[in-house]
Structure 1
Amino acid sequence: MTHWLYLPELASTGTAAVLEDTEAAHAVRARRLREGDVVCVFDGAGRTAAARISEVIKRPLKVHLALEAQQHWALPEVRIHLTSALPKGDRQTTMLDMVTQLGMTDFTPVNFERSVSRAGTGSQDRWRRVLIESCKQSQRPWMPLVHSSIDLAEWISGPSDDGVVNLVAHKEGESRSAVIEESLVEAKQVRLLVGPEGGLSESEFARLHQTQTTMVSLGEGVLRVEAG
């Protein structure tokens, strides 16, 4: 298996590049890569390139790469925008890791009446590190976009044009197969709203029922936020 490494400046790089700090340590200490090994570098904006490790300098740790021709990948045909309440602590990391590997293209935290956690100082930097690692694991050239927190009113006033499907995860919603058959076939963007651990309040549930959204059930049980 070819290992992926993150090189954000790939677009402006010629035939040679250098990995330093965290990414160099990941390549040498975590992946045990050595001179002569072939890897794939990506910038998170759709560009990838095959590269061969030409030299490893141990102090300070640097990994020199010889790059081949770059490839630019098209954006996914359907944007999957997860708009969700935040779970507590490390479960935020679990959620973002899993949904990135599954194909999420956008993430927006949503504040609800019963939210148990909100985005704080440094959250976006921490989440970005998670997204990078998830893209390397799943070999995804496009890193998901992380947007600023919104409240439910802002979500409701969001796009509802042709090609945009607005879904709300709820135990009493329609089955997944029915929604996919009726709503998702021609979708260009899917916005999935996942509520907080305490569930939607009565007023929030009523407001959503008055909008052009579809309640969708993800199973018979009540799932954790990060599993939604």
Structure 2
Amino acid sequence: MRIPRVFEPQPLSAGARIELGDTSIQHVVRALRMNDGDRICIFNGEGQECLAQLADVSKRSAWAILEQPATPAVESPLQIHVGQTLSRGERMDYAVQKATELGVSKITPLTSERCEVKLKGDREDKRLRHWQQVATSACEQSLRTRVPSIEEVSPLQTWIEQVDADLKLVLHHHTAQPLQSMDPPGSVALLIGPEGGLTEAEVDAALAAGFQPVAFGPRVMRTETAPVAACAILHYLWGDLG
């Protein structure tokens, strides 16, 4: 059986004994019914992972005795920051999950003129925590060792003016500019519009802020599909896919 991976945001050192958090206990103890002596893999979101042996397992608590930590080469050299306009239902979950599996470094949920999702106060905080957990779970599954951060919801205009990257791209199907003609970047900011698309004024604002328009083929993609295709292509060209 594959050794389960869990996320514990704390320092990892050989021989250390750490207490597992509630989410890890729910997974390895209550769901998988693991016991003392069983082995798990712990990663801390900062590039390290470590095999560990469970100890003092009960229904509500469990400890892990760490072996030698490792720093596997599983993170892409290309840093991608996705500005993802909010979408309804499970579409945002899908975009966060798949973008994480493909190696993005950061995701900022955006509001725009055609965005139909409105988040404020406690509801916004709850969704941000949920999306961060979606990203963490995707890292557990995909063997990543760094968890992308889910930033606070931002107006599109604010994000395009403040985001910093070597190359800034806005997905816009009315362009034929090839990515292969661009100089290889170390970091990319990727702007994804809502289901109804960005307005011409928003595209113009992005271009004025230094973004370059790019299309990934002749077909128009849904808002949750676009970051998946884009991140795969970017990592194939300049990252570690392929």
TM-score, normalised via structure 1 length: 0.84
Alpha-carbon shift at residue 118 of structure 1 (Å):
3.8
Alpha-carbon shift at residue 43 of structure 1 (Å):
1.4
3-state SS of 2:219 partner: coil
Q: Is the 8 A contact 1:51 1:68 kept in 2?
A: yes
Q: Is residue 223 of structure 1 aligned with residue 221 of structure 2?
A: yes
Structure-to-structure mapping, 1:114-125, within 5 angstroms = 114-119=114-119, 120-125=124-129
Structure-to-structure mapping, 1:1-228, within 5 angstroms = 1-11=2-12, 15-58=16-59, 61-72=60-71, 76-119=76-119, 120-158=124-162, 164-174=166-176, 178-179=178-179, 181-183=180-182, 185=184, 187-228=185-226
TM-score, normalised via structure 2 length: 0.80
Range with bigger deviation, 133-142 or 12-21: 12-21
Residues in 1 aligned to 2:35 and 2:213: alpha-carbon distance in whole angstroms? 51
Q: CA RMSD in A?
A: 2.4
Q: Is the 8 A contact 1:160 1:212 kept in 2?
A: no
* Sequence identity percentage: 29
Range with bigger deviation, 99-108 or 143-152: 143-152
Q: Is the 8 A contact 2:17 2:63 kept in 1?
A: yes
State the one-letter code of the partner of 1:149: V
- Using a 3 Å threshold, how does the CA distance of structure 1 residues 154 and 12 change in structure 2: closer, same or farther? farther
- Using a 3 Å threshold, how does the CA distance of structure 1 residues 219 and 118 change in structure 2: closer, same or farther? farther
Alpha-carbon shift at residue 41 of structure 1 (Å):
0.2
User: C-alpha deviations, 1:109-139, integer Å up to 9, x for none?
Assistant: 1221111114423222111111111110111
Residues in 2 aligned to 1:184 and 1:35: alpha-carbon distance in whole angstroms? 53
List alignment gaps of at least 5 residues for structure 2. 227-242
3-state SS of 2:62 partner: strand
Alpha-carbon shift at residue 191 of structure 1 (Å):
0.5
Alpha-carbon shift at residue 16 of structure 1 (Å):
1.2
Alpha-carbon shift at residue 29 of structure 1 (Å):
3.6
Equivalent residues, number: 220
Range with bigger deviation, 107-116 or 197-206: 197-206
Alpha-carbon shift at residue 159 of structure 1 (Å):
5.0
Q: Is the 8 A contact 2:174 2:215 kept in 1?
A: yes
Which structure carries more strand by proportion?
A: 1
List alignment gaps of at least 5 residues for structure 1. none
- Using a 3 Å threshold, how does the CA distance of structure 1 residues 127 and 44 change in structure 2: closer, same or farther? same
Q: Is the 8 A contact 2:39 2:52 kept in 1?
A: yes
Alpha-carbon shift at residue 12 of structure 1 (Å):
8.0
